[in-house]
Structure 1
Amino acid sequence: MNTNILYVDDEPHNLSAFAATYRRLYKVFTAESADEGRKILDKEDIHIVITDQRMPKTTGVEFLASILEAHPDPIRMILTGYTDIDAVIDAINKGQVYRYIQKPWMEEDLRINIEKAVEIYNLRKENKELTEKLIVANRQLEFIARQNLLS
């Protein structure tokens, strides 16, 4: 599977550094604002969302919480240069964040975290597909059982 990653950060040099570092491994989409990020999410099949915590109009946690209902599947990660324990707790509770990573990120460290996030995304997708197949099989068995009872 080709992995699509959305990185949201109000600092253009962070966006270009991220894209340059990971574009060979993943299809990278970048956005300078939460609004821009939502537009990309509405158009593209995004698997991983990475966002900066501190942005002018909205925090990363607020952005991630705002996309949960419309886009529940992507694995969510927050990058920040600040250690704010309340933001970490909010990220986990409100934004359902998989990882909280310090800026500046270490290239190898972030790559490993992205790989783990991709694994989780794929496992969740596979689990969802298997559950759907199980529901269909269960309905078919119920139908056969009813037919046998009627005959």
Structure 2
Amino acid sequence: MSANPQLVREMLNRDLHAAQRLQVLLTQERELLQQRDHEALTALIREKNDHLALLEGHAKERAALLQALQIDGSGSSWETFLASDEPLSQLIPLWQQLQQEVRQCHDLNNHNGKLVARSQQTLKQLLDLVRGKSQGGGLYDASGSAANNASSNTLTRA
């Protein structure tokens, strides 16, 4: 049993376009995170989640195709599947491009995650400062010893 090469091409092209659109959204997300534009970020995150759901649905379709063809669904299954048939083997570069685009999405998402984590850390430090909770391990006391300045000095008392 073999798959229709045109159908497989359409599946891969559809996934490729969705992954490229997700890259654009992730790049826009990075810019909005840097600008701290939370209103625009909310709408963009909705669209990003829609594209992630779309890509997940496409991955399930690809897995179902492999299952219908009684092919193991391990990591390199698609490349093996494409190489197994001459008309399908012409689609290997398209599959590899899709894999590259997905890796790029992953990298962009990781970068955005680091920006979010950094923003959260900065916000926590600012809130702690306003509340008078000092993390201070880098201060020295009168004797020159490192002091864990854990005293509670609120911003109004400082």
The higher relative CO (CA closer than 8 Å, separation ≥ 6) is in 2
After TM superposition, the score normalised by the length of structure 1 is 0.33
Q: Which has the higher helix share?
A: 2
After TM superposition, the score normalised by the length of structure 2 is 0.32
